[in-house]
Every structure is written in C-alpha cells, then in structure tokens.
Structure 1
Amino acid sequence: MPLIPTAHILRSAEDGGFAAGSFNVILLEHAQAILAGAEQAKAPVILQISENAVRYQGGLAPIAAAVREQAVRSQAPAALHLDHATRFDLIREAADCGFASVMYDGSTLPWAENVRSTAEVTAWCHERGILVEAELGEIGGKDGAHTPGVRTDPAEAAAFVAETGVDALAVAVGSSHAMTVREAALDLPLIAELHAAVPVPLVLHGSSGVPDGTLAAAVAAGMRKVNIATHLNRLFTDAVRASLAADPALVDPRRWLAPARDAVAAEVARLLAVLGAEGRQ
C-alpha cells in the first residue's frame, strides 16, 4: 500500500477519538514487525526514524528506502516520520526521502530561540507539504519536555502553536524517555486542559513507561499520537536472549531475529488496540 500522509492519520485520530501509534524503527526487523502488527490490528501506523537511529545507520537515505519499500508491500496504511531531529540538514534530507512529517526538537533552547527556529522549520516544511511536530515543556531545560516533574502550561502551549504554526505538539504530562518499567503516572486532567487549549493534535513521548490503562485514559483525555520505542526494544531483546539461551549453538541470525520480530509484531497489534486504533484502517 502506498505511504499515506501523517496528517491524514492524525486527522482520523482526532475525528475518531483514538490515538495513532508511532513506533521507532532502528533495524529492518523493526519496520517489518510494526507493519505486521498494524496489519493484524487493521490499523494505521506511523513508522518513525529518529536522529539517533540515523546516526547508528550512518545515514538516513538507506534505512528510509528500506522502510518505505516494506510499507509499500504491506497492507497497513503507514506514514513515514522523522523523530527528534535537531539538524536542519537532516530535515531537508527527510524531505528528499519522501517523509510526510518531521518532529523538530528545539525544546532545549530558550523560549525565543525555540519559537524562532521552530517557525523557520515549519514554514520551510509547509512549503513542501510536510507536517511538523514540535516539543515544548521546560523552557530552556536540559531535557526539554521530559525532565521529571516538568508539566506543559496550556497557555504557553497555545501561544507556542500560534507563534510557530506547528501541526502537532509533544507535551510534558508525566512520561519520560527510555523507561524500562511501565509505572509512569500521567496528569490526565492536564491532558484534557491541553486538548481544550491547543488547536493541534497532542503527542505523548516516552510512552514506553506508561501502563495500558493509563494510555487508554490519556487517549480519552485527548492524546492523539503516542510514541513507543524502548518498550518494543526491550521485548525484542528479551526474545533474542531467550532464543540464544535456549540454543547456545545458534549462529544464523535469522533464527534469533525472527522470534524477536514476531514478539514485537504481536505487541504492536495489542498496543494499537489499547490506543483505540484497532479496526480504523
């Protein structure tokens, strides 16, 4: 199936009251698993490649081409998204590679500089039909929107969107990146306030640490895009460890990568149901 715009998925999520699952791709097996899970759930999905993954792969174009080809061969409606980009040259390359959306991360900058740089990126992307997600939380803070204890102020969020023209906003409501245990407590009343105050879809980063029930409640309160990476990586790694422990003589990577891919596919399908996206294809 041809790639579809991220904007289309987010519009459907807002209209349907569900959240789009946005899952990180590091290896080709991640893309295959995410698409297989979306097919099982009959749900749209966002495949996102982060600046860190680009650094690991040694460049964006090869991994982007591989992911795009997998998506075209899949029956799942899928969009391609650049995650946590801080470099404008990488955003330009993503445009050349056919990405439908980018997340520009200026959250560690002072307010005025974040607004200025985000507005510039947004104007450039909009000229090319690319959706822009941005992040706001701790103003000028080291870890941006996901410093523990930081919360996004609804009035500041609305002002930021108005001044930058962004299409989606990642907000700080209690989650944190790279959590390996699912025990984060989200500020659900704040999510509802932000949903009422901000005229663009809300995005939850650091969702790996959020329990199922809280994820569902966040969606009900107005969250429309949910990013998940570490949780799937942990399941992937657990499956690899189990395969190698069961047969120490294994040398063919296909024998231990296939179970890991299957584990992630099953979890993607399950999470899409938690987010209310199942059957929304």
Structure 2
Amino acid sequence: MNLKDKLKLFTQKKRGLLATNCYNMETLHGVLKAASDLNEPLILQLTQSSIEYMGLETAVSLCRSGLKQYGVEGWLHLDHGGSIQLIQSCLDAGFDSVMIDASELPFKENIRITSEAVKIAEHYGAHVEAELGFVAKLGQTHINKGFTQPEEAKIFTEATGIDSLAIAIGTAHGFYKEEPHLDLELLSNIAALTPATLVLHGGSGVPSRQLQAAISRGICKVNLATEIKNIFMSSLKKTLSLNEEIDLRKEFPVATEQVTSLVKEKLIAVKNQPD
C-alpha cells in the first residue's frame, strides 16, 4: 500500500503512524527492530543534515535494504526539506514522500513554494507534506508564535493540493522544559475543515495520553526524532565510561537496543486509544 492510502486508512481508524528519524545504521536498525518485533508499519525519515552526513545514495540504500532485512512495511520520507532542489534530488533518488517546509515564510510564499513541490511530486506519484504555523525548531523559543488556524489550513490545503499538513498546536522540536499541553480543541477544528492528513511534529517528550488524545481528534502521522538521538548517545556515553573497549561492534549494539525499546513504546502509544 502506498503512503497516501495508508495515512488515509489510519486516519479513518483513528490510529497513528509513527515516523522516526534515523541518523546512521545503528539508529536505523534500532527503529526497524522495534517495528519488526511488533509487526507495525513505520515511516523512515531523513533530514538534509542526515543526507549530507551519510550521502544521499548511501542513506537511501541503507533504508531500503533495512526495510527488506527486517520485513517491515515502511516508506522513506524527506523531513523538513528546505528547497525545491532538495525535493527534486530526493524524488529522483526514490523517496516515497517529501516535506517542503516553507512555514517561516509569509503565507502566500508558503503556498507558492509548496504548490511547486506538489507539481513536481505528481510526476513520481509521491506523497507531499507541508507545514503551516509555528512549530519551534531546535534553538528557537517554544513560546507560541502562531498556532495553525483552521480557516488558513483549509485555504492552504485547497490552494496547494498537499497530502499531509504539519500543524502547530503546542509542540516543539527538541526537549521540553515542562510538559507540553496540546490544544486539542484547535486540532478538532482544523480536522473538521481540511481533508489533508494531519501531522504532529515534535513528538519527543509528549506524554502517551496526549499523543493518543491527538490521534483520536485527527492526528495520524507522529514524528519522533530527538528522543532517538538522545537515548542512543546517552546510552553510548554511559557504556563507554565504564570500560576501555575500542570495538564499536561491541559497544554500539547496547545503544541500539535502547532505541528499539524506546520506539516500541512509541509504536504502542500511537496504536492504542486512550481509555
């Protein structure tokens, strides 16, 4: 099943589809082991920085071979694509889905750039995600600078033809200094006006009960990145501090196992509904 149809199906069922970023072979295998053990589908996400780190062809090959190796139903997605050029390169490389992020530009300019990405993706049969509203990125203040407004979401979706829309309802990328509180009423109003699949960025650190409540009100795709990096590096640092082992093949698997445990918890959370 292609990603567009999967997201539509899961939205109808009021269950989430987890989208996890991966940064190297170890984090990739960690998330895929979790999905394989639970027999759950998964979206693998790569950012521009991860693509630059691994190389586009290498990154795509790793993800594709990993999905096959672990027997996971999954899709490859560009997360926060900042240019049409990157969108084109990823589509040429075989990505199933791309995100064009012009959310920090004026509304009309966001529509223009997003519409261009949609037209390009049509030739590949690819899924397109965009963002509307302010979801703080790493290094930016978490203070609300503009939640997504329902009427604007409707206009934006109709004008661009996007498949999925990342919305701002109270999350942020990176760590939270205190528990976030999602505006669920706003989410319901957005869901009522736009046919696009709704996406929650900044899923790291959001309690399971809030994730489940958001999914029950229209969120389908849930992004997870920061917690994966954090648990891998924290575990690795701890392990290395306890010995003088230099064989990475012995040390990395411990951190990879922690990624698997984390992602299993998240997969269960986005699948289940609140009591």
Q: TM-score range by the shorter chain?
A: over 0.9
Answer yes or no: is 1:54 the counterpart of 2:51: yes
Distance 2:38 2:196 in 1: 26
Alpha-carbon distance between aligned partners in 2 of 1:138 and 1:262, rounded to the nearest angstrom:
34
Give 1:56's aligned amino acid: Y
Which of 14, 18, 21 is the aligned partner of 2:15?
18
Structure 1 runs (4+) greater than 2 angstroms displaced: 145-148
Whether contact under 8 Å (2:137, 2:174) holds in the other structure is: no
Rounded to whole Å, the distance in 2 between the matches of 1:98 and 1:172 is 29
The residue that corresponds to 1:127 in the other structure is 123
Bigger mean CA deviation after superposition, 78-87 or 89-98: 89-98
Q: Which residue of 2 aligns with 1:264?
A: 259
User: Normalised by the size of structure 1, how large is the TM-score?
Assistant: 0.90
Q: Secondary structure at the match of 1:209?
A: coil
The answer as to whether partners of 1:183 and 1:209 remain within 8 angstroms in 2 is yes
- For residues 71 and 79 of structure 2, the distance between their equivalents in structure 1, rounded to whole angstroms, comes to 23
Give the Cα–Cα distance (whole angstroms) in 1 for the partners of residues 178 and 62 of structure 2.
Answer: 31
CA contact (8 A) 2:16 2:219 kept: yes
Specify every segment of 5 or more residues in structure 2 that has no aligned partner in the other structure, as ranges. Answer: none
Shift of 1:277: 6.6
Give me the CA root mean square deviation: 2.2
User: How many residues were matched structurally?
Assistant: 271
State the match for 1:216 in structure 2. Answer: 212
Matches within 5 A, 1:1-281: 5-57=2-54, 59-138=55-134, 148-149=143-144, 150-179=146-175, 183-247=179-243, 249-276=244-271
Deviation, structure 1 residue 148: 2.5
Distance in 1, matches of 2:33 and 2:251, equals 18
How big is each residue's C-alpha offset from its partner over 1:75-94, in whole Å with a ceiling of 9 and x where there is no partner? 21111101100122221121
**Structure 1, unaligned runs of 5 or more:** none
Give the alignment's TM-score, normalised by structure 2.
0.92
Give the letter aligned to residue 93 of structure 2. Answer: C
**SS in structure 2 of the partner of residue 202 of structure 1:** strand
